[in-house]
């Protein structure tokens, strides 16, 4: 298998030009290019277009998507093998391929890999491979002209007819960059025999610690071959093997001491490697392998004690757990820039935030192997959407055939991953159908024709190719004839009453809980440094035209993200006039919203039989460009304050405190498989630092359970802050949370004396008055905790993962930003 990635060239292709005409283009028409790649990427590298992410350049590069683009590669071939294939892992999207002037294929689905036998037209010596990509939007509109316009949210309606990443057409968090090109690997494969469709299904007896693998493979080519299956454990030791005839390559492998794979926080992630070798005597003529984990996983939908509906939660190896995590979008618009290291970094950030699940959203792509491998290794389960989002998709014969090929390719490629938890038919398509009267109570099922995809084609493919993984028709989805997808008592739900819809205060997230909240969120700006890198200097102020351009949120009335942000700011905090002040304020509100949301959802994960909320996946983890969005991590990879709020709320042991009239409500969530005995320390302070309450409460918390209690406190007319800490038997702090009299805009937190000192590779923090939302920042700063609240009388110690800088910037609510020297005290 030989990568054909270097030496490519790109040229604009005249309308209607065929292979002969493209080959005849003059040398000066061609630019250097690389594969995987896009026309936008090649033009950017050659200096022919400006950075699409800077300023409003998005509009200045739209012409690129309106042109045809030719790619060519000259490559040398020596002696030919028995079989010669060209393998195209992804062609985006409307593409014709020629080899030495002979047409090989035409493709119109970027998610379908293609393998072509080229033995007849490949020649020893020089060969020329030529690809021509048609303008994606114009091509999609030609199909739309035949099959008709359909309703959608986000982007151009023609996208519904294009089997292409839907976010390329523009979304409410991303630019319109309709890229094209060979977006995944192009390879030459010379072979005499090969292993195809290696697959394993496992049966795991958790109690006995045993597992059985049923493995199959298809051998192509060769005669009289045998297939040697071997299973290696996480240390590379052989634990089972079997030799069978290659023309009936199936075997059963038994593991007597099975090492179980667990989601993050519940156990380890040992991975086995299954190897299949085609043997000609003692000679290996072909080989393939898969890494997998041994575990049981099921979706539980069971009655909930004292409540309507049924649960929606996951159980792994017999252990029920709360699925806390985030939605994942493609990490860039130019997909070739997302390296395996970048995938690993981003997935590791999710893991470091105590997440155990990521949902691959249906408007993006079936991600690179590096993403799923990182999830396997770090213990993050994957809720995998098929690539349909926010639209009424067609179901004509040609479209269904393309979707079937796409689904079969995706399921076959991904089914072995230990992280794969669920296949999901689409994102919000049932919601959209309901909004236009094509689904819902009293509406005949056949009014919504895409049901043929979500309730027919896709579940059939999954049943045939991956019957061990649950299939779910959509997100959100409520099972039952005529059911509404907004039902909070059954299935999964997108709780957008906060931010969208009624724009409820974020303090009311508890009112919009559901059995599984698969989307919710609050916007904020990215980091100030990232904004300044893409905003012209004259536009670096709140409300600027370019700043608004980098907020794609909108409605039928037009862009409105800036207006919604303004409402949430006005309701909660006082904001200074600078861009820096606005960045902090929006990130403050987002962090507070996420703290409330995750705490209110997770506290409903109660005893067995009362799992009222089984999971919460925030919209969204990451960004694809520098933008004001709902992401916890911006496009530079910088974690926002909300990331820290989520990390604390999803910790294996977490606490939450709420102020109520004459009392405080205390919640403790234990996500571990063992019960614990805690001491809860409650303290209440006034804003000038006087302590009103100091109580200690013994609390037993069963395994995998959330418990609540209340504690009476004196009534007062002045604002207060309540701090709750969970302590172990030795007095070591395990978790902390603070609740404040709100809204913050009604009172001042100015005047606190904040002391920050360096102690080796740690910071020591103290104050004489309560401090809210302390955010410490500096290039390269990597603290274990940040965006914290402080109260008098207890020093906080925060460890840095790397050496501390000589100074940093400290921001907090109502306290002016200032530089703090770490050579001594700062205050």
Instruction: Enumerate the active-site residues.
Output: 428
Which 3 state secondary structure label does DSSP give 491?
A: coil
The residues facing 195 across adjacent strands are 219
Q: Which residues contact 129 (CB under 8 A, 6 or more apart)?
A: 4, 72, 73, 75, 86, 97, 98, 99, 186
CA atoms within 13 A on the CB side of 651: 18
Nearest of 178, 159, 65 to residue 390 by alpha carbon: 159
d(CA 138, CA 153): 19
Token output for 205: 């007896």
- Interhelix angle 369-378/340-352, rounded to 10 degrees, is 30
Token output for 802: 């790397």
Q: Do residues 128 and 30 touch, judged by C-beta distance below 8 A?
A: no
Q: Where are any strands of DSSP class E within 366-480? A: 381-385, 420-424, 470-472
d(CA 14, CA 67): 8
The residues facing 203 across adjacent strands are 212
d(CA 398, CA 400): 6
Measuring CA to CA, how many Å separate 218 from each of 227, 280, 362?
A: 9, 16, 31
Nearest of 209, 187, 214 to residue 198 by alpha carbon: 214
d(CA 232, CA 242): 12
Q: Do residues 217 and 199 touch, judged by C-beta distance below 8 A?
A: yes
CB count in 10 Å sphere of residue 111: 23
Question: In whole angstroms, how large is the CA radius of gyration of the chain?
Answer: 28
d(CA 186, CA 166): 23
- Interhelix angle 561-572/579-602, rounded to 10 degrees, is 80
Token output for 778: 């500096």
d(CA 127, CA 23): 12
Q: Do residues 699 and 728 touch, judged by C-beta distance below 8 A?
A: no
Q: How many residues does the chain have?
A: 827
d(CA 493, CA 478): 8
Q: Which residues contact 599 (CB under 8 A, 6 or more apart)?
A: 649, 654, 656, 667, 737
* Strands 788-790, 771-777: pairing kind: antiparallel
Which 3 state secondary structure label does DSSP give 719?
A: coil
Token output for 697: 């409460």
Q: Which residues contact 212 (CB under 8 A, 6 or more apart)?
A: 202, 203, 252, 253, 254, 255
Q: Which residues contact 18 (CB under 8 A, 6 or more apart)?
A: none
Measuring CA to CA, how many Å separate 615 from each of 611, 784, 793?
A: 10, 25, 36
Q: Is 248 exposed, middle or buried (0-12, 13-18, 19+ CB in 10 A)?
A: exposed
Token output for 765: 């923090």
d(CA 508, CA 593): 9
Q: Do residues 394 and 145 touch, judged by C-beta distance below 8 A?
A: no
Q: Which residues contact 684 (CB under 8 A, 6 or more apart)?
A: 664, 691, 692, 693, 713, 720, 721, 722, 723
């Amino acid at each position: 298998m030989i990568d054909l990635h270097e030496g490519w060239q790109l040229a604009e292709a005249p309308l209607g030009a065929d292979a002969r005409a493209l080959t005849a283009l003059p040398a000066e028409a061609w630019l250097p290019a690389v594969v995987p790649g896009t026309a936008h990427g090649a033009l950017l590298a050659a200096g022919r277009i400006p950075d699409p992410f800077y300023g409003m350049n998005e509009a200045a590069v739209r012409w690129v998507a309106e042109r045809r683009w030719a790619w060519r590669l000259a490559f040398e071939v020596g002696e030919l093998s028995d079989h010669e294939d060209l393998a195209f892992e992804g062609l985006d999207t409307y593409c014709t391929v020629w080899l030495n002037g002979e047409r090989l294929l035409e493709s119109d689905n970027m998610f379908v890999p293609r393998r072509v036998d080229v033995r007849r037209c490949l020649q020893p010596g020089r060969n020329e491979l030529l690809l021509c990509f048609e303008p994606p939007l114009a091509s999609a509109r030609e199909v739309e002209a035949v099959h008709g316009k359909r309703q959608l949210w986000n982007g151009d309606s023609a996208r519904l007819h294009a089997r292409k990443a839907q976010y390329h057409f523009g979304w409410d968090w991303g630019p319109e960059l309709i890229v094209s090109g060979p977006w995944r690997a192009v390879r030459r494969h010379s072979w005499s025999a090969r292993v195809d469709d290696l697959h394993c299904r496992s049966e795991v007896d958790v109690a006995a610690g045993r597992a059985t693998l049923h493995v199959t493979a298809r051998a192509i080519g060769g005669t009289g071959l045998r297939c040697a299956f071997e299973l290696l454990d996480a240390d590379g030791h052989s634990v089972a093997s079997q030799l069978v005839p290659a023309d009936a390559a199936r075997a059963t492998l038994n593991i007597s001491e099975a090492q179980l794979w667990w989601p993050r926080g519940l156990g380890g992630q040992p991975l086995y490697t299954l190897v299949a070798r085609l043997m000609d005597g003692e000679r290996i003529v072909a080989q393939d392998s898969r890494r997998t984990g041994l575990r049981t996983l099921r979706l539980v939908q069971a009655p909930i004690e004292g409540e309507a509906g049924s649960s929606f939660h996951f159980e792994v190896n017999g252990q029920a757990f709360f699925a806390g995590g985030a939605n994942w979008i493609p990490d860039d618009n130019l997909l070739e820039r997302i390296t395996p290291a970048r995938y690993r970094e981003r997935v590791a950030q999710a893991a470091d935030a105590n997440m155990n699940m990521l949902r691959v959203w249906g408007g993006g792509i079936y991600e690179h192997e590096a993403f799923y491998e990182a999830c396997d290794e770090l213990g993050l389960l994957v809720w995998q959407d098929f690539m349909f989002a926010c639209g009424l998709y067609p179901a004509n014969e040609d479209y269904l055939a393309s979707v079937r090929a796409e689904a079969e390719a995706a399921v076959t490629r991904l089914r072995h991953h230990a992280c794969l938890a669920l296949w999901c038919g689409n994102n919000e398509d049932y919601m959209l159908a309901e909004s236009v009267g094509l689904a819902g109570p009293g509406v005949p099922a056949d009014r919504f024709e895409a049901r043929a995809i979500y309730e027919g084609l896709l579940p059939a493919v999954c049943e045939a190719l991956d019957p061990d993984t649950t299939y779910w028709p959509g997100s959100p989805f409520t099972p039952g004839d005529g059911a509404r997808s907004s039902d909070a008592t059954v299935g999964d739900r997108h709780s957008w009453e906060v931010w969208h819809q009624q724009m409820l205060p974020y303090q009311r997230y508890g009112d919009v809980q559901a059995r599984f909240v698969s989307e919710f969120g609050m916007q904020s700006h990215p980091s100030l440094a990232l904004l300044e890198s893409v905003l012209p200097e004259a536009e670096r102020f709140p409300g600027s035209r370019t700043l608004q351009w980098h907020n794609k949120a909108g409605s039928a009335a037009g862009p409105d993200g800036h207006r919604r942000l303004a409402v949430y700011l006005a309701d909660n905090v006082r904001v200074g006039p600078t861009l820096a002040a606005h960045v902090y304020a929006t990130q403050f509100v987002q962090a507070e919203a996420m703290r409330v949301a995750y705490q209110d959802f997770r506290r409903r994960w109660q005893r067995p039989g009362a799992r009222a909320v089984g999971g919460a996946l925030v919209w969204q983890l990451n960004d694809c460009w520098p933008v004001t969005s709902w992401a916890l991590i911006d496009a530079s990879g910088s974690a926002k304050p909300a990331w820290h709020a989520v990390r604390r709320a999803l910790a294996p042991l977490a606490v939450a405190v709420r102020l109520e009239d004459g009392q405080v409500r205390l919640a403790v969530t234990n996500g571990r498989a063992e019960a614990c005995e805690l001491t809860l320390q409650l303290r209440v302070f006034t804003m000038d630092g006087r302590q009103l309450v100091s109580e200690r409460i013994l609390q037993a918390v069963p395994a995998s359970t959330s418990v609540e209690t209340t504690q009476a406190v004196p009534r007062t007319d002045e604002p207060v802050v309540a701090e709750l800490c969970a302590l172990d038997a030795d007095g070591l702090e395990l978790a902390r949370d603070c609740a404040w009299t709100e809204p913050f805009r009604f009172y001042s937190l100015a005047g606190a004396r904040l002391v920050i000192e360096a102690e080796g590779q740690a910071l020591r923090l103290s104050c004489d008055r309560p401090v809210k939302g302390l955010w410490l920042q500096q290039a390269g700063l990597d603290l274990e905790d940040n965006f914290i609240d402080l109260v008098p009388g207890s020093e906080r110690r925060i460890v840095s993962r790397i050496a501390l800088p000589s100074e940093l910037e400290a921001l907090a609510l109502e306290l002016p930003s200032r530089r703090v020297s770490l050579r001594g005290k700062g205050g």
